[in-house]
């Protein structure tokens, strides 16, 4: 039995959901998102909540039950508050600047890295030192993938700790060579 799947997804004020077969469409102040569940999952509206139930006792239905409920809950969170990831730049001369729809990264290479911002994502660099990148959007997967793509240009290294890291991420430091 899925403990997560048993909980209904409440819809806060200002958010509406519609069911069309296996597709849930959630509309809120930040936009509209939709999710299509598999045939093993049943979706129903109960007042101002969305209820997710498995169809039958098949193993696939039980496996997808909690995930489908989490996906619907993420739709509601996305259209109300949105999702946010923060990246920190650590290293001498490492900077980030937004220029239009392009994020310009100076990461110690001989050239600047130009990162095209995907649709539906807003990136800001509020810090005076330009060492912080804030990525926001209504789709959790796209926000996380964008942060991972930026981090991929210079992941933090274990000796000096230089690189692009998630805010609050712990980097296990190694000791250098000894003479």
pLDDT in the model for residue 178: 85
Mean pLDDT across the chain: 93
The domain 3-80 having CATH identifier 3.20.20.80: the answer here is no
Q: What percent of the chain has pLDDT over 70?
A: 99
- 1 pLDDT band, cuts 50/70/90, is low
Please give the Cα distance from 85 to 18 (Å, whole number): 29
Task: Read off the pTM.
Answer: 0.87
pLDDT at residue 35 tops 80:
yes
pLDDT in the model for residue 179: 78
Q: Where are the domains of the chain?
A: 3-80, 83-166
Second-level CATH architecture of 83-166: Alpha-Beta Complex (3.90)
- What the block records as the tokens of 87 is 């990246």
Q: Which residues contact 6 (CB under 8 A, 6 or more apart)?
A: none
Give the number of other Cβ atoms within 10 Å of residue 112's Cβ: 13
pLDDT in the model for residue 26: 95
- 107 pLDDT band, cuts 50/70/90, is very high
Summarize pLDDT for 14-23 with one digit per residue, the tens: 999 999 999 9
pLDDT at residue 149 tops 80:
yes
Do 3-80 and 83-166 agree at the fold level?
Answer: yes
């Amino acid at each position: 039995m899925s403990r997560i799947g048993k909980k209904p997804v409440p819809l806060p004020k200002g958010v509406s959901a519609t069911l069309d077969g296996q597709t849930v469409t959630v509309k809120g102040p930040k936009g509209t998102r939709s999710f299509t569940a598999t045939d093993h999952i049943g979706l129903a509206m109960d007042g101002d909540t969305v209820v997710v139930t498995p169809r039958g006792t098949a193993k696939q239905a039980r496996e997808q039950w909690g995930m489908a409920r989490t996906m619907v809950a993420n739709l509601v969170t996305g259209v109300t508050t949105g999702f946010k990831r923060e990246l920190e730049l650590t290293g001498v001369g490492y900077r980030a600047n937004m220029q239009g729809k392009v994020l310009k990264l100076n990461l110690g290479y001989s050239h600047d890295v130009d990162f095209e911002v995907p649709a539906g994502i807003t990136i800001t660099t509020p810090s005076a030192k330009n060492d912080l990148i804030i990525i926001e959007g209504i789709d959790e997967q796209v926000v996380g993938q964008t942060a991972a793509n930026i981090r991929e240009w210079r992941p933090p290294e274990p000796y000096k700790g230089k690189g692009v890291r998630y805010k609050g991420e712990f980097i296990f430091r190694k000791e250098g060579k000894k003479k």
